[in-house]
Amino acid sequence: MAGQLRAIRQRIRGVQSIAKITRAQELIAASRIIKAQQRVRDAGPYARELTQAVEAVVSQSANIDHPLVREPENPQRAAILILSSDRGFAGGYNSNVMREAQGLRARLRERGVEPVTYVSGTKGITWHRFRGVETAGSWHGFSEAPRHENAEEITQTLFEAFNRTAEDGGVDEIHIVYTEFVSMLTQNAAVHRIIPLVIEETTEEPVSGPIPLYEFEPSPQAVLDALLPWYVESRIYQALLEAAASEIASRRRAMKSATDNANDLLEEFTREANKARQAEITQEISEIVGGADALAESVAGKE
């Protein structure tokens, strides 16, 4: 009985230590999520205005022919940018992103397109290295607080690959796999093709209102040459910010769940410890009563 009680108390101390760690992680994530959400909101207006400008160029230039909007006739290689986290304790955040990336690779191979992987985040780099999947580029160290310089570096690497032919190791398409931040409770792993741009013809008026009538100087082609790199960079930066907010929200939710589970375990172990202690006390009382009865019988026999 004593050994069982000691084992239970050791488990209680272990669970209490884990609960302190998960609670601390939850509080840290809760303090950081507000700043992450604010960064997403602050970057939104710039991204929307830049998107509207690109839409204006494309919509008012029907005969424009640009590599960033032209559908490749026979794509051979496609870049996949995967945004993962640098740290763990985030529940299913990374596994959901990797699952979407695997599905994208399968769809590209069905089309006869070779996927070329670029990874941001230590967890994603480790995942690919462990499985022997080759990566053409990797970045880490900024998953929770990305800066514009990080998006610029990633964009430059992807553009260098896009500007080369497939025979020279270049790519014909660029896809991004990341986690969209919807709310504190909802984050969805998503796949988007950012190059070439997906152009949809519609007669409906845009949500932001009618597209202004611009006059382009020196030409729509030159304007698009200048706008599209900024547009792609802003898309990647926005994705980095949303992935950061999603990572922190996932970590907060996972740590809260772990803390709740630890508290449930503590209640269960406390009940088991009380039962073991009660059984130990009952056994001690039984031994004392039995010894007293035996002593009384021995004394009565002598008399």
Cβ contacts of 182 within 8 Å, gap of 6 or more: 188
Residue 211 has pLDDT above 70, yes or no: no
Of residues 73 and 193, the one with the higher pLDDT is: 193
When pLDDT is cut at 50, 70 and 90, the band that residue 251 belongs to is: very high
- Assess if residue 11 is contained within a domain: no
Counting the structural domains of the chain, the total is 1
What pLDDT shows up at residue 157?
A: 92
- Assess if residue 133 is contained within a domain: yes
- Assess if residue 297 is contained within a domain: no
Mean pLDDT calculated for residue range 89-105: 93
- Assess if residue 191 is contained within a domain: yes
Return the H-helix or E-strand segment holding 177: strand 173-181
- Assess if residue 124 is contained within a domain: yes
When pLDDT is cut at 50, 70 and 90, the band that residue 204 belongs to is: low
What pLDDT shows up at residue 183?
A: 86
What pLDDT shows up at residue 303?
A: 57
In the chain, % of residues over pLDDT 70: 87
**Calpha distance 190→223 (Å, rounded):** 30
For 198, the domain range is: 27-255
- Assess if residue 105 is contained within a domain: yes
- DSSP, collapsed to helix, strand or coil, labels residue 215 as coil
pLDDT in tens, 254-285: 999 999 999 998 888 888 888 877 877 777 78
Mean pLDDT calculated for residue range 68-93: 88
- Assess if residue 158 is contained within a domain: yes
- 35-62 residues labelled b (16+ CB within 10 A) or e (exposed): ebbebbeebeeebeebbebbbbbbeebe
Residue 119 belongs to domain with CATH number = 3.40.1380.10
Residue-averaged pLDDT of the chain = 84
- 252-272 residues labelled b (16+ CB within 10 A) or e (exposed): bbbbbebbeebeebbeebeeb
Q: DSSP letter string over 22-48? A: HHHHHHHHHHHHHHHHHHHHHHHHHHH
What pLDDT shows up at residue 156?
A: 92
What pLDDT shows up at residue 275?
A: 82
- Assess if residue 267 is contained within a domain: no
On whether the CB atoms of residues 42 and 216 are closer than 8 A, the answer is no
Task: Read off the pTM.
Answer: 0.82
